Amino acid sequence: MNRMSAVAALDSTPMLADGLPVQVHHDRTLRVKIIDACGMTCTFCHNEGTPVVADNLGTSRGKMTERGHSGRVSIYLATNGATFLPATIAPDDAFASALVRLREALSLEELHLTGGEPSLHPRLAEIVTAGASAGLRVCMTSNGENGARVMVDCARAGLYRVNFSIFGTTATELAQVQEARFADVQRAEKKIRALRESVRLTLAHGVGASANIVVPNYDHATRVRRLMDEYAPELSVRLLNSLDDGIESIEAIERILADLGAVPTGHHVTAGASGWRTSYQMPGGRVVWFKQIRPVRLPQTCAGCRFNNGTDCQEGYYGVRLYRDRSGGFQVGVCIQRMDLCLPVEEFIGSDLCREIIALRDTDYVQLSSASRINPKGNHDADRV
């Protein structure tokens, strides 16, 4: 869960004015935090906006810590107003009911599993089955640390795609972004080997696979080339610029793409959410993606928010998230920096917030689709997250 992937705030007009074709997709994805556990201690983790459970069990509301003995962090916790600890989601009737109700309310098509690290969920294949049974295409974001143990069963259950977060292409690189007590190269090497095996098995069993890699500056060009050389073209590579490094990161990615001889071929924009991507084709035909953020806001909900400016709002309105709290209830969230906006499922479905999300999605779709050279692509974007 990487804060650095919340990238440049770009006006949609210049994005569409470069003469490239644009494909527009409705946002019909629900992100679900299925487990809080994770075997990494990345220093930039937002943990889907929720507290790290291991560090906050028994802690009273208002006193939860963003950094504790586990070494893990939840970087927005000090200011996001989170009031509940997340529970591991079980593939039970309550979960199935929540999925169906939200699918119907929001016309959902995709379920995207997050954490923590989803591959550590003890019943992951059953979670995939539950999502597929609810009529949703099931995808997952993973660091790959446990994928080899669960991927075969998940593929059989119908898993559609895995987005692998690549925090280091070597053990040394991975160790550098871990909490100091866990910045051990040997430990990191085990994680790198596990990632490689997870990617191999994912592709071998017919599940789509993407690799997300953050590029802070041009010094990271070697990382990108190493990633491209190590993995087959079947692994879709997506370059994400670092918010912390601003224009330097953007220019670095553009320079790396130029070095690779990659030529931009089109934009893919998600209407009603902040994600958009530009596709580049390399001389050999391989496609590389540059993923960015549009400054999308919920017109009413975001209007008076103190984070609603070009600096503090780091993700924009990215879409709807689902959590299970430790009392067994399900909470719907719309912003990892404003967890105080979370509502129980039944309350959310009947709320002005739900109606506002639908209206934003439809209005944004019409506006984007009416621009020149726009090519609407139905109601899905399976590779959005």
| Domain-embedded: residue 356 | yes
Domain-embedded: residue 357: yes
pLDDT digits (tens, 9 = 90+) for 229-248: 988 888 999 998 876 777 89
Mean pLDDT of 241-266: 90
Number of H helices, E strands in the chain: 12, 14
Total number of domains constituting the chain: 1
pLDDT of residue 233: 85
Selected residue with higher pLDDT from 241 and 27? 27
Distance CA 298, CA 141 (A): 25
Identify the H or E element spanning 186.
helix 185-204
> In angstroms, rounded to a whole number, what is the distance separating the alpha carbons of residues 379 and 137?
13
Q: How many CB atoms lie within 10 A of CB 219?
A: 9
Q: Note whether residue 76 is domain-resident.
A: no
Residue-range definition of the domain harbouring residue 348:
3-38+93-376
Residue whose token pair is 């959310």: 348
Looking up residue 34, the CATH number of its domain turns out to be 3.20.20
This prediction has a pTM of 0.91
Distance separating alpha carbons of residues 73 and 76, to the nearest angstrom? 9
Q: What sign has the CA pseudo-torsion 163, 182, 192, 212?
A: positive
Whether residue 122 lies inside any domain: the answer is yes
Q: Are 159 and 34 in contact (CB under 8 A)?
A: no
- Say if residue 306 is exposed, middle or buried (CB neighbours under 10 Å; 0-12, 13-18, 19+): exposed
| Residue 137 parent element (H or E) | strand 137-142
- DSSP three-state, residue 73: strand
Distance CA 359, CA 353 (A): 10
* Residue 56 in domain: no
Is residue 63, in this structure, part of any structural domain at all? Answer: no
Q: What is the pLDDT of residue 310?
A: 83
Is residue 335 within 8 A of residue 94, CB to CB? The reply is: no
Quick one: tokens of 300?
């009413």
The amino acid that residue 282 corresponds to is M
* pLDDT number for residue 369: 84
What is the distance between the alpha carbons of residues 374 and 364, in angstroms, rounded to a whole number? Answer: 13
Is 187's pLDDT higher than 80?
yes
Residue given tokens 């987005």 in the structure block: 163
Residue 307, pLDDT score: 96
Tokens read off for 96? 């199935």
Query: Does residue 295 have a pLDDT over 60?
Result: yes
Q: Which of 43-47, 116-120, 180-184, 376-380 has the lowest mean pLDDT?
A: 376-380
**Residue 53 belongs to a domain:** no
**Which pLDDT score, from 0 to 100, does residue 110 have?**
98
3-state helix, strand, coil in the chain (%, to 5): 35, 20, 40
Is 65 part of any domain?
no
Which residues pair with residue 263 across a beta bridge?
A: 281
Span 105-126, pLDDT tens digits: 999 999 999 999 999 999 999 9
Q: Work out the average pLDDT over 62-76.
A: 89
Mean pLDDT of 78-94: 96
Max alpha carbon distance in the chain (Å)?
57
Over the chain, what is the mean pLDDT?
Answer: 90
**Predicted pLDDT of residue 16:** 55
Instruction: Identify the pLDDT of residue 314.
Output: 87
Pick the closest to residue 200 from 235, 165, 238, 236 (CA basis): 235
Question: What is the arithmetic mean of pLDDT over 368-383?
Answer: 52
Q: Is 329 exposed, middle or buried (0-12, 13-18, 19+ CB in 10 A)?
A: middle
Instruction: Supply 297's token pair.
Output: 């806001």
- Whether the predicted pLDDT of 375 surpasses 60: no
pLDDT digits (tens, 9 = 90+) for 134-177: 999 999 999 999 999 999 999 999 999 999 999 999 999 999 99
Task: Give the whole-angstrom CA distance, residue 376 versus residue 160.
Answer: 22
